[in-house]
Structure 1
Amino acid sequence: MGWVRPVVAGLLSAIVGYASSFTLVLAGLRAVGASPVEAASGLLATCLGIGIAGAVLALRYRMPIAIAWSTPGAALLIGAGPVAGGFPTAVGAFLVCAALTVIAGLVPWLARAIAAIPRPVAGAMLAGILVPLCTAPVRALVEIPALAVPVVATWAVLLRYARGWAVPGALVAAVTAIALTGQDAGLADATLRPALAWTVPTFDLSALVGIALPLFLVTMAGQNVPGAAVLSSYGYEAPLRPSLVTTGLVSAAGAPFGGHQVNLAAITAALTAGPEAHPDPRRRWIATLALAGGQVLLGLAAGVATALVLLSPPVLVIAVAGLALLPALGSSLGNAVSEPAMLLPAVVTFVVTASGVAVLGIGAAFWGLLAGLATMLVLHRRQPAADAAVPVAD
């Protein structure tokens, strides 16, 4: 019966991870032009991708390599908003992002180049993406207090006594508030039947630069690199390059059905790779196998999840997601100010990204990263030639 504990840990992590951010995924897909059917298909495709990639890596390497959807990527989509060409253009960007992930796994220097982006700049870019989402609970308290107050109060109480259940509890409170206010009539039309909707991708340069490239960067910096670090902290040498190739191929397969990106998990990895999953590190991979199976089962309810989001006031949906993203915002801000010499480039990156301004149809995340790197170059001082010529004694 040594498998019971890791299976329970894996299923629990699947439930917590899904409930914490499925609203964010759906809101992101809707923001870039997906219809309700296409958004439900995207959620299902992403869940199936998590299950397939997680099972393949767990069985191949016998390590607790947890897979998740790109939470910062979904936040990026919300900030990007509608794109020229509609959802097919966004799907084209998803495909390009998946291709970049595969290339990063096959070409070592590309992964090293992404890792070479200074941590303060990468953290500031992610923080700029998250700020508008994390302020949504405040807006919801002002605009729809009858719905938002129970949600925030439930989150606060559970944060004190059962932190891991704070966001799922807030989601339950939101559902209850919607039901009590008579806004749940549309749930009768929801179905558990899985439905994948094919979207023919189209490609547009502004979407590739404004969505595909930032999606790739925030997923690498916000998910894949931290995910590998979490595994390393528990004594596992993560097979990063094979993981990138696997998740990139799975993401490419799911993109025409609306899936935006799957990748290494960071927070969920801590739930499945630690001693809570199993005392024996050699048995913890079972937890990620259970996580993969649980995610597939949860994905089959994408229709109901989408109906729930459609019934909710948009600000309430984003508010629940914003509560889930507060720890990520705190971590990103911490990274942004971690090096005094990089403070100004990080601030410039944060301000430009948080502005939400799109130029030439390209989103603010790309311009924020560009502005931060440009500020680094402006501040860089080359050592004078005369000083460099002075011999230094051993």
Structure 2
Amino acid sequence: MASRSSSVGPGVEHRWFVYLTLAFVSVAFSATGPVAIIMTAARDAGLSAQQTSSWLFAALAVNGVSSIFVSWRTRQPLLFLWTIPGTLFVAPIVSHYGFGAAIGTYLFCAAVLIVLGVTNLVAVLDKWVPMPVVMAMIAALFLKYVVDVVHASVSAPLVGAAMLGVFFLLTWFEQRGRCPLPPIIGALLAGAITVSASGFSLHSGSGAWIATPVIVLPTFRLNAIAEMAVPMLITMLFVQNAQGIAVLRAAGHPASLRGITVASGILTALTAPFGACPSVLAGPSNAILVSAGTRGKHYIGAVLAGVMFVAIGLFATAYARLLATLPTAFVAIIAGLALLRVLKKSFVAAFSSTVPLSALVVFVVVLSGVSFFGIGSAFWGVLAGCAVCHLIETDRPASSPRR
């Protein structure tokens, strides 16, 4: 009996180690480049340190607690985080209408998500918004931040050379199945070592470490909602949630489009008052969680990842101060590299489709930054792309590759 017990123990311990490792890698990925994007957006929006801390607290800790609960109840790895494309909409809205208008738009999105999920209208909308149109919008939004990698590398050549060199070296190994760690993590470590060697030292001072969540009163501005809600909802539904659902279904999990849409709405309503962008099913992070182990136990990795996110979120003030005091070039490079692969996939999905003209129209309009009636280019780009698709390339959307 003792020998039988001892033979089972190592196997159980090994499985737990696998899920713990997957959770750590998933958290390391999401808490580096994507958080750097939040910091960049918060800086561009002129948010205070307390507001940024509150945003990180909600994005990490509140989503972490929710992910633990949902994953445990459903026995599926349902890790919810924040929408990265949606993060890029924040600065223009805050600068034009104030932070409260952004929160009001988030809450509007939450209400729409819940209605779409409960009524299953989300399945109907899926037929009218071609994926190449959405991906072209994402490509135009992300392009600036990836281009900033070049500018940052020129301004800080040693840091840029180290981070880019390690990133592409690990990418070379990754494509051959021999990568020791994710390229983005390698670039982060290389940059940190180079920055430290150059004489930079972190001055923590006597500031607080614990998160400082604050409630932001929403204001519902029609122009702000019109400018941000439509592209925000499109990216949430047809890019991020769709990607996460595809990842889970490919791993054998019966992810529900309706259920995940409603969950995104509820979580968005919970995190928005603290200043956080809407919540979505995290595709890349969940892909890491299901990359090993057994299907029935994948939720363990999501639960462990949720615990880690809660821990980081509770110390959001210290984490935000750490990122804020790092050299601007370092943060810009890690944020741009985090978006590089998404940008590549967006270009491929948009321009190798059967509706390339529609994708090009979206890309050009969004990239122009044009604004009509106080509504930004992301909305007009999607509108123009859908119009061209359905009026000119009408016989092609049905055959274009979707999620």
- Aligned residue in 1 for 2:314: 300
8 Å Cα contact 1:9-1:271 kept in structure 2? yes
Distance 1:174 1:76, change over 3 A: farther
2: CA distance, partners of 1:321 / 1:115: 33
Deviates most, 257-266 or 14-23: 14-23
Aligned pairs for 1:309-328 (under 5 A) are: 309-314=323-328, 316-328=330-342
8 Å Cα contact 1:124-1:332 kept in structure 2? yes
1: CA distance, partners of 2:219 / 2:394: 44
Note the alpha carbon deviations across 1:159-195, whole angstroms, 9 max, x for none: 3343743222323344444445555454334543122
Of residues 324, 328, 348, the one that matches 1:334 is 348
2: CA distance, partners of 1:203 / 1:178: 43
Root-mean-square deviation (CA, aligned residues, Å) is: 2.3
Of residues 294, 302, 312, the one that matches 1:288 is 302
CA positional deviation for 1:144:
3.0
- Aligned residue in 2 for 1:119: 131
- Aligned residue in 2 for 1:248: 265
SS in 2 for 1:3: helix
SS in 2 for 1:260: coil
Distance 1:183 1:4, change over 3 A: closer
Of residues 214, 220, 231, the one that matches 1:197 is 214
Deviates most, 99-108 or 287-296: 99-108
Aligned pairs for 1:1-150 (under 5 A) are: 1=12, 2-77=15-90, 80=92, 82-114=94-126, 116-150=128-162
SS in 1 for 2:88: helix
TM-score by length of structure 2 reads 0.86
Query: What stretches of structure 1 of length at least 5 have no aligned partner?
Result: 383-394
2: CA distance, partners of 1:298 / 1:90: 24
Of residues 227, 245, 258, the one that matches 2:275 is 258
2: CA distance, partners of 1:109 / 1:184: 53
TM-score by length of structure 1 reads 0.88
CA positional deviation for 1:366:
0.9
SS in 1 for 2:232: helix
How high is the sequence identity, in percent, across the aligned residues? 28
- Aligned residue in 2 for 1:388: none
8 Å Cα contact 1:33-1:87 kept in structure 2? no
- Which AA in structure 2 matches 1:335? A
- Aligned residue in 1 for 2:182: 165
Note the alpha carbon deviations across 1:186-232, whole angstroms, 9 max, x for none: 43345431221221111211211122222121122221011111111
Note the alpha carbon deviations across 1:330-371, whole angstroms, 9 max, x for none: 11111112323x111110001111223333332221111011
Distance 1:381 1:299, change over 3 A: closer
SS in 2 for 1:124: helix
1: CA distance, partners of 2:50 / 2:198: 25
CA positional deviation for 1:89:
1.4
Of residues 211, 224, 239, the one that matches 2:256 is 239
2: CA distance, partners of 1:152 / 1:332: 21
Aligned pairs for 1:349-364 (under 5 A) are: 349-364=362-377
- Which AA in structure 2 matches 1:44? F
- Which AA in structure 1 matches 2:146? C
Distance 1:151 1:115, change over 3 A: farther
- Aligned residue in 2 for 1:211: 228
Distance 1:89 1:163, change over 3 A: farther
SS in 2 for 1:284: helix
What is the number of equivalent residue pairs in this alignment?
377
Deviates most, 242-251 or 40-49: 242-251
Query: What stretches of structure 2 of length at least 5 have no aligned partner?
Result: 1-11, 174-178, 396-403
Distance 1:301 1:165, change over 3 A: farther
1: CA distance, partners of 2:212 / 2:51: 9
8 Å Cα contact 1:150-1:177 kept in structure 2? yes
Distance 1:215 1:190, change over 3 A: farther
- Which AA in structure 2 matches 1:63? Q
Note the alpha carbon deviations across 1:240-288, whole angstroms, 9 max, x for none: 22222223212211111111121111111211123x1x1x311111111
Deviates most, 108-117 or 56-65: 108-117
2: CA distance, partners of 1:73 / 1:82: 13
8 Å Cα contact 2:97-2:224 kept in structure 1? no
- Aligned residue in 2 for 1:222: 239
- Which AA in structure 2 matches 1:92? G
- Aligned residue in 1 for 2:164: 152
